[in-house]
Amino acid sequence: MQLILHYDETYREVKYGNMGLPDIDNKMLMGINVTPIAALLYTPVLIRFFGTKWMMFLAVGIYALFVSTNYWERYYTLVPSAVALGMAIVPLWASMGNYITRMAQKYYEYSHYKEQEEQGPQQRPPRGSHAPYLLVFQAIFYSFFHLSFACAQLPMIYFLNYYLYDFNHTLFNVHSCGTNSQGILNGFNKTVLRTLPRSKNLIVVETVLMAVAFVAMLLVLGLCGAAYQPTEEIDLRSVGWGNIFQLPFKHVRDFRLRHLVPFFIYSGFEVLFACTGLALGYGVCSMGLERLAYLLIAYSLGASAASFLGLLGLWLPRSVPLVAGALLHLLLAVSLFFWAPVPRAQKHNWIFYVAAVLWGVGSALNKTGLSTLLGIMYEDKERQDFIFTIYHWWQAVAIFVVYLGSSLPMKAKLAVLLITLVVAVASYLWMEQKLSCGVLPRQPRIPRPQHKVRGYRYLEEDNSDESDGEGERGGDRGRVACMEEEELQGRLPSGPEPVGL
């Protein structure tokens, strides 16, 4: 809604004069899309410092700050808040994925507490035991999350659509759509508003959005419990801030993550293509701006309903939902590659809504499948924040690439999307083949908590550069060295200590 208002030439000249609003919008988009590139450096440190719950609370607060700047739209309010929003994107999603996985694990522990008592308090649950609960939790979460695309269109439906010109005016100079288009809506009219909305009405809409943001903050604060026990939080921080900073990079040695990187990148590509390429390059270009909200609602409802298809993983192999969503996107992308709808043609509008719903189904299977897969493969609570940081950082890199290539022809965008999708599916199936053949992943060793650092001895015993197998051999050497040192101290004569220095 903000970008549509700022796009209108008359609205800018009347309300902002020579303030340079288009330049401010470009810098805002740059802040939102470029800043997350550095998130791999600070996200694990922030999550370990604040804790998973409080990181979510602070990130939602930064979203509320970004919304509040629209009360006073100036360079010094919009651009810094956009940069802060870009910094909060990866920490929010990494802490969210970590939180949902931890809640599934804790729910398993609560529902099987009798078995835990029989096995003993120190006995860990069987590997993969929390997987059914994780599937259900991720399906519920993404069902609600995808509804946010529909809720985001309410200001458009109940407020902005009353001020928009119809498609005959806005699309008057648009001559090519779909696969023949260049950039984003090339030739779109510079004036899209019939009358300018009153400032009072804008303030009312802004106040409603701020109220929703504060309710979101209160929900996180009041309903979300701690992801870890207090002693666990202390242990997670006590491995050393240097190790926390390095461990996301050291996890690259795990072949499972390397094989999933193309899928991470595609996951960022596809959601941006749905909101820009499919919605604008195909839907708005043919049906007009007044249909944008309804197109995104169709995508939202399809994705929300299809999120529960992720529960098929309870009965089918885990690769089936993920590969099924990828194949659905492959069929749609190939169809879109050869389809160029006619501008201002209203005869076959239902095709756009069907395409949006089907793309939403594929997006839901992609998101639920990837998040569930990571939660199942990486059960150790000491690694989950690193793994989800890597996942969402690659998504942020993909979004940055889409931002850089926004002016490319539609054929080039679809070609990149198709190549990434094919590589992602092939790489993922190769990973599953390796796991079925018994190839063991090489994971970095998580150092033990060091509450009292005694010199530099812990560097030999807890070296995060080692893998788990190497760490066991190194740990044996460290224990032998400690035993020799204690034996040597036992041989020293014991007597009264000399007085003085």
pLDDT at 467 over 60: no
In a domain, 467, yes or no: no
Residue 497 placed within a domain: no
Q: What are phi and psi of 294, to 5 degrees?
A: -70, -30
Q: Provide mean pLDDT across the span 189-204.
A: 87
Contact 341, 177 (CB under 8 A): yes
Domain that holds residue 222: 1-120+128-437
Residue 397's pLDDT is 93
Q: What is the pLDDT of residue 501?
A: 40
Q: What is the mean pLDDT of residues 156-179?
A: 88
- Is 457 within a domain? no
Interval 89-106: pLDDT, tens: 999 999 999 999 989 888
Cβ proximity of 21 and 5 under 8 Å: no
| Residues 167-181 as b or e (16 or more Cβ within 10 Å = b) | beebbeebebbbbeb
Q: How confident is the model at residue 417 (pLDDT cuts 50, 70, 90)?
A: very high
Taking only the tens place, the pLDDT of each residue in 216-264 is: 999 999 998 888 877 777 777 777 888 888 888 888 888 999 999 999 9
How many angstroms separate the CA atoms of 336 and 348, rounded? 15
In a domain, 491, yes or no: no
Pair 432, 319: CB distance under 8 Å: yes
Q: At 311, which helix (H) or strand (E)?
A: none
Of the candidates 269, 289, 278, 420, which has an alpha carbon nearest to the alpha carbon of residue 336? Answer: 278
* Residue 352 burial by Cβ neighbours in a 10 Å radius (0-12, 13-18, 19+): buried
Phi (first) and psi of residue 41, to 5 degrees = -80, -30
Q: How many domains does the chain have?
A: 1
Chain mean pLDDT for the chain: 84
Question: Does some domain include residue 450?
Answer: no
pTM of the model: 0.84
Provide the pLDDT for residue 382: 81
Residue with tokens 């902002």: 16
Banded pLDDT at 500 (limits 50, 70, 90):
very low
Each residue's pLDDT tens digit, 315-367: 888 889 999 999 999 999 999 999 988 888 888 889 999 999 999 999 999 99
Asked, for residue 471, whether it belongs to a domain, the answer is no
Per-residue pLDDT, 231? 78
Q: Is residue 484 part of a domain?
A: no
Domain assignment of residue 486, yes or no: no
Cα–chain center distance at 236:
22
CATH code of the domain covering residue 148: 1.20.1250.20
